[in-house]
Each structure stands twice: as C-alpha cells, then as structure tokens.
Chains A and B, each alone.
Chain A
Amino acid sequence: MTITEKLLAAHAGKKEVTPGELINARVDLILANDITAPIAIKEFERIGAKQVFDPDRIAFIPDHFAPQKDIKAAEQCKLLRDFSHKHNLSLYFEVGRMGVEHALLPEQGLVLPGDLVIGADSHTCTYGALGAFATGVGSTDVASAMATGECWFKVPESMKFIYYGKLKKWVGGKDLILYTIGDIGVDGALYRAMEFTGETIRALPMHARLTMCNMAIEAGGKSGIIEPDEVTKEYVQARAKRDYTFYKSDPDAEYVEVREYDCSKIEPVVACPHLPSNTRWAKELTDISIDQVVIGSCTNGRLEDLREAAAVIKGKKVNPNVRMIVIPATQWIYKQAMKEGLIEVFLDAEAVVSTPTCGPCLGGHMGILAKGERAVATTNRNFVGRMGHPESEVYLASPAVAAASAVLGRIALPEEVVN
C-alpha cells in the first residue's frame, strides 16, 4: 500500500484499503476559517448536535478577512468567536494569536505525521508535507465531522512524482511545484493523491515541502504527501504535544502514474495569468512591467520565504512604480523576522509589512489591484479577479523572483539584483 492508503486504512479501522473504496474514517483535526466556518456553524446547528465531538480537535482561525476588514466580515468572525466560546474550543485563534491557518497549525505542532486532517479550505493539503493525509472539504462536511469526529472519503489513486538532481541557486519548492503543475495541468491530478519523492525531495527543507504540498490542489489533487524522514522528525519533535506515526509507502505500492523530473534543469518558474498551469521560465518574462508585489500567504509566508526575499532586496529600494507588501504568515514568524532584522530590510527598501492575514491572496483586503494592474505574488492562484479587479493580472512566483521584480519594476531574476 501507499503511505496514503496505509494512513486512511488505520483511521478507518481497517487492515487495508484500495483506491475507489468508500470509507468512513476518524479525523484527528478539523479546521475552518472566517469564510467557511459560518456556514459550518449554521449546518452544525441544523444537524441538531448538542456538542462537538472533541473541543480540542477543532481549529477555528479567522484569517481571510481578519483583522476584520468591514462590518460584514466582523459579523462573520464574531460567529467563530461565539461558537468557540460556547463549545469551549481550545483551538480558536483570535487576532493577535492567529496566523494564516496552514502556516500556523504546523508551526504550533497541532498537525503531526500520520494525522488525518480535514479543513474547510482547499489548501488544507499543505500538511501532507509532514506525512499527514490532509484534504480540503466544504463547510457541510466540516459540520458533520464536528458532530461525529468522522468523515467519509473515497480512497484516492496515488500518483508518484520523482524528483532528482541538484537544485540551481534561487530554485526551490515553489519552482518545483509550479513546474509540476505546468507539466500536468490544473486537473492533471484530479481526485488523486500526489506523492512527492526522490532525492531532491529528501534534501528539501520543511518550508519548501509545505509549499509544494500546499499547491497540490492547483493540479486538482485531493492531497499532496511526502514520506516523513529525518527532516520531518527534526521539525515536529520540538513542537509535538501528542504522539505521531510515520507511515511509509511499501516498495510494491501501486501508482496510477509515475513522473520523473530532472531538477538540475529547472530554473525559476512563473505562472502567468490566469491559471497556475500557465507556466514559463522567469527569464522569458523580463519585459513584463508590474505594479505590485505580494510576499506572503499559506504558500510562501514562512520565515525562510521572508529570509529569501530579504536576501534579494537588502540594501535596494522597491521600484518607484511598485507597491511591495510583505505579510509574515504568523505572529511567531513576524517576531522572528523582526529579531533577524528582516523587517528592517523590508522597511528600508520601502516595502510595507502587514499583520498576518490571507488578505490580498484572495482579493480580500490589504493590497487589492485596480483595473489593468499587474502583480507578482508568492501566493497560489492567479485566476481572473483573484487579487482584485477582473481585468487585473497575477503572476505567481517564488519569494526571490518576487523580491527581484519589486526592485526592477518588472518580472526579474534574483541574479539581476544580487551581485
């Protein structure tokens, strides 16, 4: 069996499962945010459940339109707060403690290897980086699971991606996943578990693994997953407050498809409007002028991402035609970035640094594009209207490419800026 099949079998109380099989499985953690939780709360009440299955296994994180951007958003956030108080949820994160959900939960040790996690947010697949099975569902699924502690799943077929070769300088997790999506398309892994493996992955630090699994959904994947190893152990052992399990794929595990990539040939990648699969090498796009740069989100708002951007922009200024918005994904990242002097680097470059929020990634607030404006963002989607006006454009890239682009006012390579 694959790591995904083993993990699902264990949570369904079965010895084995096969792709296509429908199972009812126990969930270790359920999450929802200020957009999806209000519907989940309403449906939970419609179910008529008196209490949640476990007040320590439900995470409510107001991060999309928080800090509350208007009255309607404030009303939505208040529903989360009131429900959390009523049901004594220990994992409610108020502004000041919250962060972008998929950065916050792994950082706090709340998602661990071997966990089965569902979240009413499509980027829940991020946690596969820790060797967990994690997938996005809707609000009604969350409501049902909050009442029962279980959720139904169709066991997905697994698709294996083998990465080998040494990465070039300035190439990282974002480039690998964009390259992969560019190869298979936005529905190339529809309904499937994407298992990332190979020597390049084993050498990849945790933040880059999180970035890769985060974007499995952009290829239609049900989940992304990486076998836990020493890197995983090092990341979780200081954070975990409960036991965890390392599952591994058997040598004879079956895959519906296997793809191999020589990473020594991969260069910085940019996804052009209006699909994450519309990828080009960054070097082919250096004549494209930009109006805004966003560095942040559940994809690339981690400390290492800020370090990468700071390394490029240190001592330079943001181009006069560009707004640069940096959003550390959590309070801890914010504070750490301050201690390391990264915030000062951004401020000296004349970028703004925001409190944690999903904000501009989904066109919510904190950096919305006007008609005809163009952004380079380290976020995950470049659909029509994603960051603002339907006639604005988003180019997806790594923190290094985004920072270099901010300096030159056009899509740029890091080596054009860094000596």
Chain B
Amino acid sequence: MIIKGRVWKFGADIDTDAIIPARYLNTSDPKELAKHVMEDADSEFPKKVKPGDIIVADKNFGCGSSREHAPIAIKAAGIQAVVAKSFARIFYRNSFNIGLPIFESPEAADDIKEGDQIEIDADRGLIKNLTTGKEYPARPIPPFMQELIAAGGLVEWTKKKISA
C-alpha cells in the first residue's frame, strides 16, 4: 500500500476532545463528525483539509477518551493516514479496527513540515518526504494487526471467527 499526500502538522498530546469535541457526539454519523474534525486544535481545519491529506503529529496522538468517533471523523474527512511519534493505546487499537492507517515514526514527526508532500510505503515501513527528498523509517505494524488488516478489519475477522 502506497499513501501519498499533503501534510498538516499538529503538536504533542492531541486528545480525542480536540479531534472531535464531545459536544458533537450526540450523533455517530461519519459525515457529521467529519465537519468538526480537529476543530478544537485548529478551528479552521475542517475548512482547510482536503481529501487525501495526511496528519503528522508529535507524541501521544489520540489520548483521552475511547471514542471511536475520533478515528472515524479523521477517516471521514478524507484524511488518508496519521503519522505520529507515538499513539495513545485506545486510539491505536480503534484505528486498526476501523481501517485508518497509522504509522509511528519519531524521525518523520520531527522532520516533516506543514505543507510537505510525503509518500508512505506501508509494506516496507518507509516514509519519504517528496518535498525534501529525505526518508524516515516507520515502526513495523505488529503481525496480529497485519492479520486484522488482511481480514479487512475486526468486523470481518470476527465474522470469519463466528462462522468457523
């Protein structure tokens, strides 16, 4: 899988309330949620973001609540992937479960600038900065997570399991 897109940068400890504020959680409609994605981190973001863009952030992205609405809002806004120094545990799990590609790469998070064009080679675990030509390694995806992705997410994986 190759993912290519323009970068939006965010800082450390971006919490799920910043990704999708609870005041909008009286719905779980992905399109509604996407209208407010990252709103409390950058109020202009829902207007600026374009389908195909990529988020690059510092450490502990997605900390806080277990709301699956957070990766859902990001995915529904057309954001292709999130790269961060590290991810909060529940966000990490939720992203795989709903099929939002995420990559841990401290080097990429430090070096990539807002507006850069990057290319992520998910199979090789490599992130390339097309603007500067630099390359960064991404931490490999754990084998079980790869199995989940190969099955098409947790729902498909469970479907197979209960019919077995």
Contact = CB atoms under 8 A, between A and B. Distances in A.
A371 interface: no
A49 B89 contact: no
A76 interface: yes
Nearest to A71: B26
Nearest to A277: B13
Contacts of B43: 390
A22 B96 CA distance: 15
B66 A121 contact: yes
A76 B28 contact: yes
A319 to B, nearest CB: 27
Contacts of A362: 17, 22, 65
A141 B97 contact: yes
A112 interface: no
A73 B155 CA distance: 26
Point out which of A186, A364, A383 has the most chain B C-beta atoms below 10 A from its C-beta: A383
8 contacts: A121-B66, A138-B94, A141-B93, A152-B144, A186-B60, A362-B17, A363-B17, A390-B40
Nearest to A68: B26
Contacts, number: 141
B49 interface: no
Interface in A169-188: 186-187
Interface stretch (B107-115, B123-131, B156-164): B156-164
A186 B63 CA distance: 8
Given A138-B68, A138-B94, A190-B88, 16 more contacts: A39-B28, A47-B162, A72-B26, A76-B27, A120-B68, A122-B64, A148-B162, A220-B60, A220-B63, A222-B89, A362-B17, A363-B17, A363-B23, A364-B25, A384-B18, A384-B40
B90 A137 contact: yes
Contacts of A154: 142
B27 A72 contact: yes
Contacts of B75: none
A39 B68 contact: yes
A302 B15 CA distance: 26
Nearest first, the 10 A-B pairs at minimum CB distance are A138-B94, A72-B26, A187-B60, A140-B97, A362-B22, A138-B68, A136-B66, A144-B158, A122-B66, A385-B40
A36 interface: yes
A409 interface: no
A385 B21 contact: yes
Interface of B: 13, 15, 17-18, 21-23, 25-28, 39-41, 43, 59-60, 63-69, 72, 86, 88-90, 93-94, 97-98, 142, 144, 153-155, 157-159, 161-162
Interface residues of A, number: 52
A187 B86 contact: yes
A187 B94 contact: no
A275 interface: yes
A386 B18 CA distance: 9
Given A136-B90, A140-B94, A148 B27 contact: no
Contacts of A43: 155
A238 B94 CA distance: 37
Nearest to A368: B23
A139 interface: yes
Given A47-B158, A47-B162, A48-B159, A381 B64 contact: yes
Contact of B158 (A35, A39, A148, A191): A148
A144 B162 CA distance: 10
A351 interface: no
Given A190-B89, A383-B17, A120 B26 contact: no
Interface in A236-281: 275
Given A138-B68, A385-B40, A69 B26 contact: yes
B60 to A, nearest CB: 4
A143 interface: yes
Given A36-B68, A363-B21, A390-B40, A73 B159 contact: no
A120 B90 CA distance: 10
Nearest to A69: B26
Contact of B155 (A140, A190, A220, A363): A140
Contacts of A140: 68, 94, 97-98, 153-155
Nearest to A50: B162
A139 B68 contact: yes
Contacts of A147: 158, 162
Contacts of B154: 140-141, 143-144
A328 interface: no
Contacts of A35: 22, 25, 67, 69
Contacts of B64: 122, 217, 381, 383
Contacts of A65: 25-26
Nearest to A70: B26
Nearest to B95: A138
A100 B159 CA distance: 32
Contacts of A49: 162
Nearest to B32: A72
B149 to A, nearest CB: 14
A42 interface: yes
Interface in A47-79: 47-49, 64-65, 69-70, 72-73, 76
A33 to B, nearest CB: 10
